[in-house]
Amino acid sequence: MRIADNIIMFKLEAPYNQYTYPVLIWDENHLVLIDTGYPTQTEALQKAVVDAGFNVETLTEIIITHQDWDHLGGLSELTKVAPKAKILAHMDEVPYIEKQKTPIKLGAMLERYDTLTYEQKVACNVRKEMYDNLNVKVSQLLTEGEMIPICGGIDVIHTPGHTPGHIALFLEESGIMVAGDAVNHFDGQLESSNPVFTQDMTLANESFEKIKAIDMNGIISYHCGYLKLK
């Protein structure tokens, strides 16, 4: 779905009867992917990029909103296909992405592994395998208030709560917010991060209010898609 002249939102079928919505943005010199889906979505994501008229090999940046496996799942494969692509993430997420720390949700599952059902253990093992095979280095550590001077300007908004270093990205040229998991929307109404999957709901709700205070033309939620606001 083309959101603006230089913004395409992909709708990819995901496990557990849901969808994810990675975003592609570009200018004359940059082709930027925001989040990379579940591991099982990598082939579909690459096909979507090609179907949109671009070459995956020419990706210049991959921005990761946070450490969860449904955002990192295609990263290793994409960096093999597009080895020159820089990886960008908030500084607080880098230790998890680079495997210096166990990702928060995976760690919680491993701590109670013996109490998990068979299906939950399978899911835990799949996640662990994905993270074990994630061999990437973050090229640029992002911080609150930073503006990435590409694609019309990308403002980095630190939105902790869902994870410590979760970020939203405000695309200045179009007025579109790429909110990751910090915002959901249902029946046209914005809602905060899903509490079932959120580390700190107090922080998440503060981040939600921070996003809502910004003058936006529309918002892209990673699990709900695009909502036009103006």
- Indicate the pLDDT class of residue 169, thresholds 50, 70 and 90: very high
Nearest-5° angle of CA 159, CA 183, CA 38? Answer: 90
- Indicate the pLDDT class of residue 88, thresholds 50, 70 and 90: very high
- Indicate the pLDDT class of residue 155, thresholds 50, 70 and 90: very high
The percent of residues above 90 in pLDDT, for the chain, comes to 98
Distance, CA of 141 to CA of 165 (rounded, Å) = 11
pLDDT in tens, 45-60: 999 999 999 999 999 9
pLDDT at 153 over 80: yes
Residues 6+ away with beta carbon under 8 Å from 208: 159, 161, 182, 183, 190, 191, 192, 193
The percent of residues above 70 in pLDDT, for the chain, comes to 100
What average pLDDT does the segment 101-112 reach?
Answer: 97
The full set of domain ranges for the chain reads 2-228
pLDDT in tens, 170-204: 999 999 999 999 999 999 999 999 999 999 999 99
What CA dihedral angle connects 60, 152, 20 and 230, to 10 degrees? Answer: -170
Which runs of consecutive H residues, i.e. helices, occur in the chain? Answer: 42-51, 69-72, 75-81, 94-97, 104-111, 118-132, 201-212
Q: Which residues is 216 bridged to in the sheet?
A: none
CATH value of 2-228 in 3.40.50.300, 3.60.15.10, 3.40.1440.10, 3.30.365.10: 3.60.15.10
pLDDT at 221 over 80: yes
Check: pTM over 0.95? Answer yes or no: yes
Predicted pLDDT of residue 15: 81
- Indicate the pLDDT class of residue 22, thresholds 50, 70 and 90: very high
pLDDT at 16 over 80: no
Q: Tokens at residue 180, please?
A: 């990751």
Among 12-26, 100-114, 194-208, which stretch is predicted with the lowest mean pLDDT? Answer: 12-26
pLDDT at 77 over 90: yes
Predicted pLDDT of residue 17: 77
Average pLDDT of the chain is 97
